[in-house]
Chain A
Amino acid sequence: MSVAATDPAALDEVPAPAPAGRARLRFLRGGKTRTGLLILAFFALIAVIGPWIAPYDPDAMSDQLLQPPSADHWFGTTHTGQDVLSQILVGTRGVLLVGFIAGFLATVLSVLIGVSAGFLGGAADEILSMFSNVFLVIPGLPLIIIIASFVENTTDLVIASVIALTSWAWGSRVLRAQTLSLRRRDYVEAARATGESTWRIIIFEVMPNLTAVIASGFVGTVIFAILSEITLAFIGVADISHWNWGTVLFWAQSNQALAQGAWWWFVPAGLCIALLGTALALINFGIDEFVNPRLRTASGASRKVRMRVGFTPVARTGTPTQSGVPGTRSKEQSE
């Protein structure tokens, strides 16, 4: 995997200085983002081909009860002899589907509400931000549990919608703040002065500058949605006849896998969740660092340089720039 991770980097590095259009995709070059995307791509692949490459039928029982991992059953078997690896492979699709549908729906909601609030201002802003603050403060998980347990047939789509309905508020708040700061920029004023309609300004002038914020909100919501969905399956609210990683954990928990020492039953599912979550979080860091260069972890040549506002060297003949501030200098040298 590490070879695959460095190779595209080397290829990317060569044409890097030339095309300006590539700058848009620059955040892909960060090591974190690339790792995250690779892991995500891996799970996406499993989601597509999982049911075909699963060695057994996930529901099929066999006489190999509660076996530890072996060559036949890589992740061991359950108390009824079901193959844990197959359950996880088949379950990946549901996890990713719900996560991304919920993330998409929530992002649409948060863009609609957040950008309108920030751009329209006045009473509309007051009402919309009140609305999103209310949703932000109400704890999401208990609300999701209650709604989901009142709904009778909990298909993946229903679960995704319920999660989306309760998780758009954070993104909308961030978007509103960002829109507010963009609204009075000169180029927006210029567009307004040339008589562009409000909606045209929002869609063509403001939205492109919000892309990074929207993307990071989307990724964040997907993480939240995946965790919520798995939680719902784990506590038995979601449809447990439908395989996903939470269902695996649900059966493990309700059949005392812990007390019997059957670690293989619940460790793989949890590691998959953690791996997927980390991948998404890494992508989000990449986006954050792309937006806010201060957050970039010092690496390579820039390691020793501590960037400071107000430290820009000014050509002042005779006096060296550093001598003015002895305290900071000595501190930097000591590092």
Chain B
Amino acid sequence: MKYVLQRLAFYAVTAWAAITINFLIPRLMPGDPVEALMSRYQGQLDTTAIASLKALFGLDENKSLWAQYTDYWAHLLDGDLGLSFTFFPTPVGEVISQALPWTLALVGITTLISFLLGTGIGVYSGWRRGSWLDGLLPVTTFISSVPYFWLGLIAIAVFAVKWPLFPFEGGYDNSLVPAFDWPFISSALYHGVLPGVTIVLSAVAGWILGMRNMMVTVSSEDYVMVAQAKGLSERRVMFAYAARNAVLPNISAFALSLGFIVSGTLLVEMVFNYPGIGFQLLQAVGAKDYPLMQGVFLIITLSVLAANLLADMAYALLDPRTRKEA
């Protein structure tokens, strides 16, 4: 229990830090890009929108920094992230909530697949060190050095332009109305194949390497030798003794690498015009839409924190030592 509380406190502090960074960035930077934006949209902004933008971006020069900070929190707690300029009269919160499910589904499914695949291959290649599986290592190194977005470009060039097997942009067929029925879901899955495969290919290498190295370390532990001495089958020693212990550090490493995975996913979305958060971030960057950019950053950070918390809880369930210390 103590462990859980500690982690909760840590994520609360991190969330606070992220929000404060978000608060400080526009105030520390020279120039006032948001002011310029607002003057461009003058007349189309109503007073509440102006007030919230001023509070979020610190345009109220008369107020002290502390008063700005409390204002900022008040707006955030109301769920008010300002207006998006790219999708003009729509509030940022609404824009993001439309895109979030796409990103969550893409990241969730691809992460699960790459975890299972990478860990599996890692277990085998670590256990049978020196076998042909070691030949995979340079290949995976190479693939993991390729930026996600470039792999996406290649995927598009080969499987969407040269051999048009898959669509090269969008998240679903535009003629369909988003709904929970089979035509829509199948179209969404079909559009998700290329981005998904791209992410899995790039992400799986890290899992293989991490798991292999842990397996190599664990397989020289005494308890593995004891298990073998008892005459247990090799499968059982490999999975129930070695892999089970080797996977633990991999899970905590996963929690820490989540930020990288999410960043990579954002880029893949940008390449495929996938209707998720990354694509919106790209549009926001292109249009200098600061409210949307900051909103996206906040949501991404909070989701990563939530996912980290889940990973920590899973770790606590899997590793009795964290519970015992409590």
Contacts and interface: CB of A to CB of B under 8 A. Distances in A.
Contact of A297 (B130, B161, B259, B304): B130
B288 to A, nearest CB: 7
A258 B147 contact: no
A141 B266 contact: yes
Interface in B278-326: 281-282, 285-286, 288, 290, 293-294, 296-297, 300-301, 304-305, 308
Contacts of B286: 236
Contacts of B282: 235
A138 B258 CA distance: 9
Nearest to A152: B31
A145 B146 contact: no
A143 B17 CA distance: 13
Contacts of A276: 145
Given A142-B263, A331-B228, A273 B145 contact: yes
Interface residues of A, number: 64
Given A137-B305, A258-B157, A310 B222 contact: yes
A307 B220 contact: yes
Interface string B146-161: 1101100110110001
Interface of B: 10-11, 13-14, 17-18, 21, 25-26, 29-31, 33, 128-130, 134, 137-138, 141-147, 149-150, 153-154, 156-157, 161-162, 168, 213, 216-217, 220-222, 225, 228-232, 234, 256, 258-260, 262-263, 266-267, 270-271, 281-282, 285-286, 288, 290, 293-294, 296-297, 300-301, 304-305, 308
A24 to B, nearest CB: 24
Interface string A180-212: 000000000000000000000000000000000
Q: Which 7 A-B pairs have the closest CB atoms?
A: A277-B145, A141-B263, A139-B259, A298-B130, A270-B150, A150-B29, A274-B146
Contacts of B267: 141, 231, 234-235
User: Which of A152, A223, A231 gathers most chain B CB within 10 Å?
Assistant: A231
B147 A235 contact: no
Given A150-B290, A309-B220, 17 more contacts: A134-B13, A138-B18, A139-B300, A139-B304, A141-B260, A149-B293, A170-B256, A258-B168, A259-B161, A261-B161, A266-B157, A270-B153, A274-B142, A274-B145, A278-B141, A297-B134, A325-B225
A128 B213 CA distance: 29
A130 interface: yes
A327 B157 contact: no
A151 B297 CA distance: 16
Nearest to B213: A295
Interface of A: 130, 133-134, 136-143, 145-147, 149-152, 170, 223, 227, 230-231, 234-237, 249, 252-253, 258-259, 261, 263, 266-267, 269-270, 273-278, 280-282, 285, 294-295, 297-298, 303, 307-311, 325-328, 331, 335
A205 B129 CA distance: 36
Contacts of A282: 141
B201 to A, nearest CB: 13
A14 to B, nearest CB: 28
Contacts of A294: 216-217, 220
A253 B230 contact: no
A133 to B, nearest CB: 7
B228 A327 contact: yes
A266 B151 CA distance: 11
Contact of A130 (B13, B228, B296): B13
B8 to A, nearest CB: 14
7 contacts: A141-B266, A145-B297, A146-B297, A270-B146, A270-B150, A276-B145, A327-B229
A259 B157 CA distance: 8
Contacts of A278: 138, 141-142, 145
A140 to B, nearest CB: 6
A99 to B, nearest CB: 13
A66 to B, nearest CB: 15
Contact of A143 (B21, B162, B217): B21
Contacts of B150: 249, 266, 269-270, 273-274
B154 A331 contact: no
Nearest to A302: B130
A157 to B, nearest CB: 16
B301 to A, nearest CB: 6
Nearest to B142: A278
B31 A273 contact: no
Nearest to A173: B256
A25 B80 CA distance: 58
A297 B134 CA distance: 8
Contact of B228 (A235, A275, A325): A325
Contact of A151 (B29, B153, B220, B229): B29
B174 to A, nearest CB: 17
B147 A230 contact: yes
A266 B149 contact: no
Nearest to B160: A258
B192 to A, nearest CB: 19
